[in-house]
Amino acid sequence: MAESPRRLTELPGVGPRLAERLARLNLYTVADLLLHRPIRYEDRTRLQPIGTLRPGDRALIEARVEWSEVARGRRRRLLCRVSDGTGQLDLVFFNFHPRQAERLQRGVLLRCFGEVRAGYAGPQMAHPEHERVAPGDAGGVADTALTPVYGSTEGLHQGQLRKLVGAALAMLPDQMPDHLSAEDLPDPSWPGLKEALETLHRPPAETDPGGLLEGRHPAVRRIAYEELLAHHLSLRRRRQAVRSDRGAPVLKDGQGLSAVLHSRLPFPLTAAQARVDAELARDMAESAPMLRLLQGDVGSGKTVVAALACARTVGSGYQAALMAPTELLAEQHFRSLCGWLEPLQVEVAWLSGGAGAQHRRRDLQRVASGEAAVVVGTHALFQEQVAFRSLGLVVVDEQHRFGVHQRLALKEKAGGVEPHQLTMTATPIPRTLAMTAYADLDVSALDERPPGRQPVQTVVVSEQRRGEVIDRIRAALAEGRQAYWVCTLIEASPELAAQAAEDTAAHLREALTGHRIGLVHGRMSATDKEKVMGAFAQGGIDLLVATTVIEVGVDVPNASLMIIDNAERLGLAQLHQLRGRVGRGRAASTCVLMYHGPLSESARQRLAVLRETEDGFAIAQRDLEIRGPGEMLGTRQTGALGLRIADLGRDADLLEPVQQQAGDLLHGRASIAEALIERWVGQAERYGQV
Ligand code: ADP
Ligand code: MG
């Protein structure tokens, strides 16, 4: 059943030069070409009266030449006035052959296609495609299908592409057999693959091109469904492959360290934490490597779950590494893990870029010898000459998942065993989307907050009320509370953002004399940032002015007020993350979203969503609706999916049936699954794009 894809170079007329140009469009096989989606359609199926044309229309006309002349102005050009009885139009040619001028004699009947522009003496078409028609030549007046226009590249003409696509269509169904029957489709009235592809490239004259372009037409839905299915199958197959790899250490915690840690925690685990902990324990006790994503809202208590997994690893005689995206967070994790693990005689090392060379050498040594059982750091953990004695678990906080290549590199670092992996994210994505984008991972969710949290009251105010906002800070500080002021200006430039934060801090120092005001921004050295954050955490600073560097993970329970300046500039996920810095203690907390009007419609929606809910999963769902999945997952994620026809947002309703059918295919019709993966993802896999 596995089809061997026919290379485009096997088609007549495709030499190395043309093949190279097609490759620039990622077109290698006949199937690739058939899945190259038109970016628009032109209607050459009917003649349009000149009198009805407007500038910007692309139209087919049939008209008689009235006169033509070679005009000599700044540039020589051939002008040809035509008329069809409803109006007149000028054809303009700048580069022309002398014989062309002769052919456009008075009385000649022409059929032209081109874009209408407003010209000096009425409507014009510059360089229209045109042909002479014999008088009374009524047959074959026009095309019977809409004409596709493709995304192209230099040196590759629409005409060439259309011809190649035509040749490819003629090879159907041999070159692209339909693997799905009508019963396999979510809607049995959808066309089969051959018909769908023919409609995509040669829509019958009466087709609404909008439906094709926007993906509402059943032909496009049919193809999009197959594409989503193929991608999902490919991720599931990858997961199966990882599962069947028996190279991971079995971590059963013979020493019972995780149980000891559990019993000594100052709080009981939430039900969600206990559930996820059990899921991790089960995964890690197997020789197939764990690949698990932990989605948990800000403040849901992911760190302690990670600490329990680290204890379980160490209790099994292996090392655990925890990677954080910033020094600040790594340092905070280091402190938390030290607090929990050192009483259990577990040594925790911190590998930071900021540490001195001597320190670093000693820490590297401790990691290599296994003396340090747990290691915390930034991505430098996996880049440099860090060697582990026996790495059994890797936890990645607030990061996108590892790609295939990074996984292999990790395996090397771990001396050939495949470490278990836990990726944690505070940016939950909706369930259906997660199942599609993360089908190669198991997903756990911490969907419950530790008890005793006060809800955060969120208010939206215009910056014209800055004075009142400052009064509010004064009142909070007077009660012994702490506050954040987040500057969101000019993310693109760290210099300008730092400057803006410095100016704001200076203003606030004037307005709030007698209070201790600290400042952190991205231009400061890691040590300085850490000093300020440390002081804030210890209560030595009352108000912390910060750029968005504090976004992830920072935990200061006494801070109960957050002002987000220019809140309208940030996305929902980021605002939600920032807000999660408050509401961590016993006091009632407030988040003030201060905006500079006028607000765009989407900014208004974002701020309203935040005012309504604190539920990260609900916010993620709204984010999906407002922004669409591409933005939400980040370009890396959707780029990795590399969808050609489907759109995760528009076709979200297909994801559920895709999952079901993927299960059926993998179990019952594996060869079809293979063929679909090869057709849609084969290229990307061969060229190492996933
Ligand atoms: P996040 O999921 O955002 O990383 P953290 O792990 O930083 O959250 O936890 C936030 C705070 O909640 C920390 O101070 C942590 O000690 C505390 N915490 C975690 N789990 C519980 C629990 N079950 N009961 C009470 N407090 C908890
Ligand atoms: Mg965290």
Res. 380 pLDDT band, cuts 50 70 90:
confident
In this predicted structure, the answer to whether residue 561 has a pLDDT above a threshold of 60 is yes
Res. 633 pLDDT band, cuts 50 70 90:
low
- With respect to residue 332, please indicate whether it lies within any of the assigned structural domains: yes
- Give the pLDDT score at 121: 83
Of the listed ranges 28-32, 481-485, 583-587, the least confidently predicted one is 583-587
Max avg pLDDT among 16-30, 383-397, 638-652: 16-30
The pair phi, psi for residue 520, each rounded to 5°, is -130, 140
The DSSP result for 425-485, as a single string, is: ESS---HHHHHHHTTTSEEEEE-SPPTTPPPEEEEEEEGGGHHHHHHHHHHHHHTT-EEEE
Region 594-606 average pLDDT: 91
Domain count, the chain: 4
Q: How far is the CA of 301 from the centre of ligand 2 (A)?
A: 7
- Give the pLDDT score at 585: 81
In this predicted structure, the answer to whether residue 157 has a pLDDT above a threshold of 60 is yes
* Domain end among 559, 579, 613: 613
Q: Residue 417 sits in a domain of what CATH number?
A: 3.40.50.300
* Domain end among 613, 632, 667: 613
- With respect to residue 528, please indicate whether it lies within any of the assigned structural domains: yes
171 shares a domain with 107: no
518 shares a domain with 475: yes
Q: Give the CA angle between residues 534, 535, 537 to the nearest 5°.
A: 65
326 shares a domain with 196: no
Q: How far is the CA of 302 from the centre of ligand 2 (A)?
A: 6
In this predicted structure, the answer to whether residue 45 has a pLDDT above a threshold of 90 is no
Nearest atom of ligand 1 to the alpha carbon of 267: 24
602 shares a domain with 471: yes
- The domain in which residue 579 lies consists of 456-613
- With respect to residue 327, please indicate whether it lies within any of the assigned structural domains: yes
Token pair 């040619």: residue: 93
DSSP 556: -
Region 661-680 average pLDDT: 92
Strands 147-150 and 420-425: unpaired
- With respect to residue 217, please indicate whether it lies within any of the assigned structural domains: no
- Give the pLDDT score at 630: 59
Residues 6+ apart with CB under 8 A from 610: 458, 460, 572, 575, 576, 579, 591, 593, 619
472 shares a domain with 380: no
Q: How far is the CA of 298 from the centre of ligand 2 (A)?
A: 7
Q: What percent of the chain has pLDDT over 90?
A: 53
**Bridge partners (DSSP) listed for residue 71:** 77
| Listed residue (670, 628, 623) closest to 647, CA to CA | 628
CA distance 231 to 216: 20
- Are 633 and 437 in contact, with CB atoms under 8 Å apart? yes
- Are 161 and 21 in contact, with CB atoms under 8 Å apart? no
- With respect to residue 666, please indicate whether it lies within any of the assigned structural domains: no
User: Coil, strand or helix: which one is 406?
Assistant: helix
- With respect to residue 190, please indicate whether it lies within any of the assigned structural domains: yes
549 shares a domain with 528: yes
Q: What is the pLDDT of residues 222-278, one digit of tens each?
A: 999 999 999 889 888 888 887 788 889 999 999 999 999 999 999 999 999 999 999
Nearest atom of ligand 1 to the alpha carbon of 269: 23
Region 386-395 average pLDDT: 92
In this predicted structure, the answer to whether residue 463 has a pLDDT above a threshold of 80 is yes
Residues 6+ apart with CB under 8 A from 511: 470
- Give the pLDDT score at 580: 87
| Proximal ligand: closest to the CA of 398 | 2
287 shares a domain with 329: yes
172 shares a domain with 90: no
| Listed residue (310, 364, 312) closest to 333, CA to CA | 310
- Are 71 and 91 in contact, with CB atoms under 8 Å apart? no
Q: What is the pLDDT of residues 399-441, one digit of tens each?
A: 655 555 666 667 777 777 889 999 998 777 776 677 777 777 8
The DSSP result for 117-136, as a single string, is: EEETTEEEEES-EEEE--TT
- Give the pLDDT score at 140: 47
600 shares a domain with 467: yes
Nearest CA to ligand 1 atom 12: 301
- With respect to residue 492, please indicate whether it lies within any of the assigned structural domains: yes
Region 569-590 average pLDDT: 87
In this predicted structure, the answer to whether residue 219 has a pLDDT above a threshold of 70 is yes
How far apart, in Å, are the Cα atoms of 634 and each of 500, 638, 683, 689?
Answer: 27, 7, 22, 16
Q: Residue 82 sits in a domain of what CATH number?
A: 2.40.50.140
User: Measured between alpha carbons, how far apart are the two ends of the chain, in Å?
Assistant: 24
DSSP 5: P
In this predicted structure, the answer to whether residue 686 has a pLDDT above a threshold of 60 is no
Region 272-292 average pLDDT: 95
* Domain end among 598, 613, 628: 613
Res. 138 pLDDT band, cuts 50 70 90:
low
Q: How far is the CA of 334 from the centre of ligand 1 (A)?
A: 15
CA distance 690 to 681: 9
In this predicted structure, the answer to whether residue 29 has a pLDDT above a threshold of 80 is yes
Nearest CA to ligand 1 atom 10: 299
Nearest CA to ligand 1 atom 26: 450
User: Which residues make up the environment of ion ligand 2, defined by Cβ < 5 Å?
Assistant: 553
388 shares a domain with 302: yes
362 shares a domain with 403: yes
Res. 653 pLDDT band, cuts 50 70 90:
confident
| Burial of 259: CB neighbours in 10 Å, binned 0-12, 13-18, 19+ | middle
CA distance 599 to 452: 35
Q: Give the CA angle between residues 452, 455, 460 to the nearest 5°.
A: 160
Other Cβ atoms closer than 10 A to 266: 6
| Proximal ligand: closest to the CA of 579 | 1
Average pLDDT value over all residues in the chain: 87
- Give the pLDDT score at 389: 92
Q: How far is the CA of 428 from the centre of ligand 1 (A)?
A: 17
- Are 42 and 63 in contact, with CB atoms under 8 Å apart? no
- With respect to residue 283, please indicate whether it lies within any of the assigned structural domains: yes
Res. 97 pLDDT band, cuts 50 70 90:
confident
Which residues surround ligand 1 with Cβ inside 6 Å? 267, 269-270, 273, 296, 298-304, 426, 450, 553, 555, 584
Nearest atom of ligand 1 to the alpha carbon of 303: 6
Region 101-121 average pLDDT: 90
Q: How far is the CA of 348 from the centre of ligand 1 (A)?
A: 20
Res. 1 pLDDT band, cuts 50 70 90:
very low
Nearest CA to ligand 1 atom 23: 269
Res. 640 pLDDT band, cuts 50 70 90:
low
- Give the pLDDT score at 4: 64
Q: In what order do the strands lie in the sheet with 543-546?
A: 456-462, 589-595, 559-565, 482-487, 543-546, 517-520
Q: How far is the CA of 397 from the centre of ligand 2 (A)?
A: 7
31 shares a domain with 52: no
Ligand 1 pocket test, pick from 265, 267, 376 with the greatest ligand atom count within 8 Å of Cβ, gives 267
